[in-house]
Amino acid sequence: MFCKRPRLKPAWHPSRKRSCRSTSPFIYPLLSPPHDLGVSQVTHHFASSMGSTFQAQIDGHIVIPGTHTAAGGTTNFNFGCPPTQDPPARPREPFSTVPFAPDPDFVDRPEIVAWVRDRCAGPGARAALVGLGGVGKSQLAIQYAHSIRDASLQTFVFWVHASTRARFEEAYRDIADRLQLPGRSDPKTDVLWLVSNWLRHETNGRWVIVLDNVDDVEIFFPSRKRRRNEADASAQTPLATYLPQSRNGVILVTSRSKDAAARLAGGYNKIREVLAMNESEGLQLLCNKLGNLPIEESAVELLRALDYIPLAITQAAAYISRRARMTVARYLDEFRRNSKKRESLLNWDADELRRDESASNSVVTTWQMSFEQIQRERPSAAELLSLMSFFNPQGIPESTLRRYSREATGGAELDNTEEAESAFEGDLDILQMYSLVSTTVDDDTCEMHALVQFCTRVWLSSYSDAEQWEQRFVTLMAQELPSGEFENWAKWQQLLPHVEPLFDAMPTAEEALKAWAQVFTSVAWYLCLRGSYSIAQEIAAKALTVREKALGLDDQQTLVSLEVLASVLRYQGKYNEAEKLNRRVLEGREKELGVQHPNTLTSVSNLALVLQNQGKYDEAEKLNRRALEGSEKELGVQHPDTLMSVISLASVLQDQGKYNKAEKLNRRALEGYEKELGVQHPDTLTSVSNLALVLQDQGKYDEAEKLNRRALEGYEKELGVQHPSTLTSVSNLASVLRYQGKYDEAAPFYADEREQPGVGAALPGEVRRSREAQPKSA
């Protein structure tokens, strides 16, 4: 039989007092439903039959369909009062949950602002701002959010902190409360779904969500492993599920991770990298933050030191403003004083009302969050970052990093080195995704902010790893630096800026110290060949001191440093000192390596040269003949080192007036160099100059002039107009022109010579022979 149908009552409202049992069964007649409908379909059929009256009755209640009796045509529905007194959803005036007021110090960045506005203009649009922590992403998002409310009060603006799942859930609960969504206080209700469903309904109006600090992609798109590790089943649901696609909604993401940003925004074409400010923007921000304080000339220098990072500028301005005697210039001096003071300044945490309360206002702490995230995601990428923090921030060669990566992964021993290459690309990709590193396509180099490097080293120091990574860097540089020969100069120009910081800081670990001495020896030899004698002498002396102490006076590596220092002294005309050092090197090598070893023969040639410079021709000639015979036997007659010995012997014969023999030897050397090294190689050009000189000594001026012009043109092209070899060639050409009475032609070259102090006599013997042999095993 049928129960009497109760009269429908108005929907429940918190202002209406009523009693209700936990479960009240009601029996309603089913208006001819098909018997094959399921329970939920029956409910839907009944509701549609009753119209809005039924909906009004059940709104705010828990409806549990009972058993459907096919024969009797009845279905039981259990209606229960809601467990809490949450009011039903009502039409609400749109509001904003942005927790920050508009920034009076905001510096407009027109290109980025226009990009955000354009990308977020369409229905259902998604866009993302990515970049380093503290580069201004959130400030741009705040400005955009307020501009939306200023333009349209009919748009909801929701600010969602998304650094962790807990912060995301907290933001959604706040939105549910502000919207007064029914059921939001029920412990069994999934508030995330509740808000997500509200966002899906276009009848609720237009809305904008700012997802701030989406740095962990695993929160929104968890891997299977992470899902298995989640104890709470609800926590296994990807947060991205709760961000509905709606024509009424726009989502703007801020993130340090390009990967996370691109996945949430819908592609890499929908993200915009926020870089550091330009000089004009940085100055404006500093002016705004300092208020009435005067902006000094050193302000631009301070901005450069801070890499134009907005957070660092804001931090510095706050520090300056809070100290009555502090100025921009004084802050800059303290910042540059030493690394400890710089760390202290960058660690200073100023109160900043415009950053999330959980976010640090310290540059060091802000970036360390990224470092630690990378450490969790891909430890090998964090290791690559650690190594890169010791390079010069600009022009870091990928080839050098790849060498490290191969050795770190054992790639050099793999049958297929593609595995090591793939590992390196993956590591570099992660660092680029977090905007810590950028790459250039043209010259295969990487770049970093100097401030990022410094904060990375601070982070390493906190784990006691800084010394270990410094040692790895120095060792890598010792392996990478090539010989100082001309053909390696392009690589030297690329690598030298990265070892220059080592000039002012000597490592303390024994192994790092040995590698440091090797680096310094190589650098000194290269600088010597490039004509930078003063600094080359200083560096060579430091390397020698370290090696003597660490390895002993007679160690072969010590002798290499000693030989380089002797060469630098000879190039400066300090012959007595150079002779003593060269004799010591020769004695040590004869004792340890034997009289015919190539390194020993190099020492013989170098001693002969410095003796020649002092006019000790007989001994010099004997030593040169010994070196030549040994090289021909050990290396062959066409080896560059043998040809160098040929030139050395020719030079000393020339000084003794034995011109015919000297000419023959010089022609042999020139022919050999042209064949082995090419016509434009500096060693070949030196041989050209040597032949020109011996021809000039014999009065063969026409041929000597032609050769001198060839040498000068080649030096200018290959070495540059300021190189000592070029300047000496200027003097040689002027000399042969004067000998021919061509004074007008010679005059310009003499003028050039006068403009360069000491050109004529700065390098005795420089063009009378090829340079010393490259020190072996430097």
Over residues 92-110, the pLDDT tens digits come to 799 999 999 998 999 999 9
Predicted confidence at residue 624, as pLDDT, reads: 97
Amino acid identity of 382?
A: A
Predicted confidence at residue 506, as pLDDT, reads: 82
Domain 553-755 listed as CATH 1.25.40.10: yes
Give, as one character, the DSSP assignment of residue 156: E
Amino acid identity of 767?
A: V
Closest by CA position to 608, among listed 594, 593, 629 = 629
CB 65 within 8 A of CB 79: no
Predicted confidence at residue 109, as pLDDT, reads: 96
**Centroid of chain to Cα 49:** 67
Q: Say which residue, 778 or 545, is predicted with more confidence.
A: 545
Q: Say which residue, 302 or 1, is predicted with more confidence.
A: 302
Per-residue pLDDT at 91 exceeds 60: no
Instruction: Using pLDDT thresholds of 50, 70 and 90, give the confidence band for residue 501.
Output: confident
CB 518 within 8 A of CB 478: yes
Integer angstrom CA distances of residue 304 from 279, 284, 288, 388, 438: 8, 14, 18, 20, 18
pLDDT digits (tens, 9 = 90+) for 268-304: 999 999 999 999 999 999 999 998 667 778 999 999 9
Ranges of beta strands (E only) in 175-286 are: 206-212, 249-255, 271-273
Predicted confidence at residue 771, as pLDDT, reads: 39
Ranges of beta strands (E only) in 225-277 are: 249-255, 271-273
pLDDT digits (tens, 9 = 90+) for 193-211: 999 999 999 999 999 999 9
pLDDT digits (tens, 9 = 90+) for 209-256: 999 999 888 899 988 766 556 555 555 689 999 999 999 999 999 999
Predicted confidence at residue 36, as pLDDT, reads: 42
Of 321-335, 349-363, 727-741, minimum mean pLDDT range: 349-363
Predicted confidence at residue 725, as pLDDT, reads: 87
Q: Say which residue, 462 or 311, is predicted with more confidence.
A: 311
Per-residue pLDDT at 495 exceeds 70: yes
What is the distance between the alpha carbons of residues 401 and 425, in angstroms, rounded to a whole number?
10
Predicted confidence at residue 228, as pLDDT, reads: 59
Its pTM surpasses 0.85: no
Cα angle 647, 653, 656; round to 5: 145
DSSP lists the bridge partners of residue 130 as 255, 273
Cα angle 182, 187, 191; round to 5: 55
Per-residue pLDDT at 57 exceeds 70: no
Of 49-63, 417-431, 562-576, 736-750, minimum mean pLDDT range: 49-63
Q: Name the one residue in this structure whose structure tokens are 């022109």.
A: 737
- Strand, coil or helix: what is 636? coil
In 373-408, which positions are buried (b, 16+ CB within 10 angstroms) versus exposed (e)?
bbbebbebbbbbbbbbbbbbbebbbbebbbbbbbbb
Predicted confidence at residue 777, as pLDDT, reads: 54
pLDDT digits (tens, 9 = 90+) for 149-170: 999 999 999 999 998 999 999 9
What is the distance between the alpha carbons of residues 775 and 536, in angstroms, rounded to a whole number?
14
Integer angstrom CA distances of residue 551 from 467, 517, 593: 21, 11, 17
Give, as one character, the DSSP assignment of residue 774: P
Predicted confidence at residue 743, as pLDDT, reads: 86
What is the distance between the alpha carbons of residues 181 and 668, in angstroms, rounded to a whole number?
97
Predicted confidence at residue 235, as pLDDT, reads: 59
Q: Say which residue, 475 or 358, is predicted with more confidence.
A: 475
- What is the chain's mean pLDDT, rounded? 83
Regarding beta strands 396-397 and 438-440, do their DSSP bridges make them parallel or antiparallel, or are they unpaired?
unpaired
Closest by CA position to 776, among listed 600, 644, 604 = 600
Assign a CATH topology to domain 110-273.
Answer: Rossmann fold (3.40.50)
What are φ and ψ of residue 15, in 5° steps?
A: -80, -15
pLDDT digits (tens, 9 = 90+) for 579-615: 999 999 999 999 999 999 999 999 999 999 999 999 9
Q: Which residues contact residue 543 at a Cβ distance below 8 angstroms, ignoring those fewer than 6 apart?
A: 517, 518, 520, 521, 524, 561, 564
Helices and strands in the chain, H and E counts: 33, 11
Per-residue pLDDT at 84 exceeds 70: no
Per-residue pLDDT at 177 exceeds 90: yes
Phi-psi region for residue 249, left (φ > 0), alpha (ψ -120 to 50) or beta?
Answer: beta
Amino acid identity of 688?
A: V
Residue 670, token pair as written in the block: 């020139």
CB 666 within 8 A of CB 687: yes
Work out the number of other CB atoms within 10 angstroms of the CB of residue 154: 10
Predicted confidence at residue 422, as pLDDT, reads: 87
What is the distance between the alpha carbons of residues 216 and 376, in angstroms, rounded to a whole number?
10
Cα angle 43, 49, 53; round to 5: 90
DSSP annotation string for 693-735: HHHHHTT-HHHHHHHHHHHHHHHHHHT-TTSHHHHHHHHHHHH
What is the distance between the alpha carbons of residues 611 and 614, in angstroms, rounded to a whole number?
5
What is the distance between the alpha carbons of residues 456 and 383, in angstroms, rounded to a whole number?
11
DSSP lists the bridge partners of residue 157 as 96, 208
What is the distance between the alpha carbons of residues 214 and 224, in angstroms, rounded to a whole number?
20
pLDDT digits (tens, 9 = 90+) for 118-138: 999 999 999 999 999 999 999
Per-residue pLDDT at 767 exceeds 80: no
What are φ and ψ of residue 26, in 5° steps?
A: -125, 145
What are φ and ψ of residue 509, in 5° steps?
A: -65, 140
Of 333-347, 407-421, 510-524, 633-647, minimum mean pLDDT range: 407-421
Q: Name the one residue in this structure whose structure tokens are 């899902």.
A: 227
Regarding beta strands 24-29 and 396-397, do their DSSP bridges make them parallel or antiparallel, or are they unpaired?
unpaired
Per-residue pLDDT at 13 exceeds 80: no
Percent of the chain predicted with pLDDT > 90? 62
What is the distance between the alpha carbons of residues 590 and 578, in angstroms, rounded to a whole number?
18
Predicted confidence at residue 369, as pLDDT, reads: 86
What is the distance between the alpha carbons of residues 705 and 592, in angstroms, rounded to a whole number?
46
Ranges of beta strands (E only) in 628-698 are: none
Percent of the chain predicted with pLDDT > 70? 80
Per-residue pLDDT at 692 exceeds 70: yes
Closest by CA position to 593, among listed 619, 565, 554 = 554
Per-residue pLDDT at 774 exceeds 60: no
Amino acid identity of 89?
A: A
Per-residue pLDDT at 2 exceeds 50: no
